[in-house]
Amino acid sequence: MNILIVEDDPVIADAIGMILTQAGYYHVHARTIEAALSELNYSQVDAVLLDLNLPDGDGARLARLIRKNHVPAPILVVSGNSHVDDRITALGAGADGYLTKPFDRFELLAHLEAIIRRANGHSSAQISIGNMTIDIDRNLVTINDDFVPLTQKEYQIVHLLGMRKGAVLSKDAFISHIYGGIDEPETKIIDVFICKLRRKLRKAGLQDAKIDTIWGQGYMLRNQDMPERAIAC
């Protein structure tokens, strides 16, 4: 998924970009409303992270322009403005969420995942892939409505894969998602987790979905009707 960061402060933009990269997102950056509109016209954007105080105008104006032009990307305002009037104005202009700076990296990703989930029709906080359902509220996975016993780390992996269905996720993205920069092991541990996860899902009767190995890049969860990019071990 490709995220547009609209932020005039290069330090904050770089920090957000690093968080997104570690979580497996691609991103592009615009400092102004004009530059953001150009990116939206020429790039595939899956979500927008929007500051309100921009050099060429109010970020709420950009939100209104995005909605006026029927751009489907959800908008998360990330602003230092904490007053309730700013929140009301931004949400009224078409934003889907509002996060106040400073923020925790996990809070940012949780808000981002929530607006993407709603935009993709997952308002019930459940993701269905083949005969598998990932219940985000209860942190569990079912196949044909039967509970699949996964470890916490195995669930975190399948949750991240489900949120980025059809996208290739690097091992570094999984490490960041699971460990959050604390006592991170070598990335080869992800291969072990993935193999165990595949065995458990197959044993539980997973159909019409699979975890592919994308050699030299990482892993991808896809429906069987999506083009196959690699052979799953």
pLDDT per residue over 85-107, tens digit each? Answer: 999 999 999 999 999 998 888 88
Per-residue pLDDT tens over the stretch 5-57: 999 999 999 999 998 988 878 899 999 999 999 999 888 898 999 999 999 99
* 193 DSSP assignment: H
Q: Which amino acid is at 95?
A: A
Tokens representing residue 196 in the block: 């165990």
Give the predicted TM-score (pTM) of the model.
0.62
pLDDT at position 75, please? 95
Structural domains of the chain, with CATH: 2-119 (3.40.50.2300), 126-223 (1.10.10.10)
Beta bridge partners of residue 76, listed in sequence order: 49, 97
Nearest to 207 by CA among 163, 143, 160, 145: 143
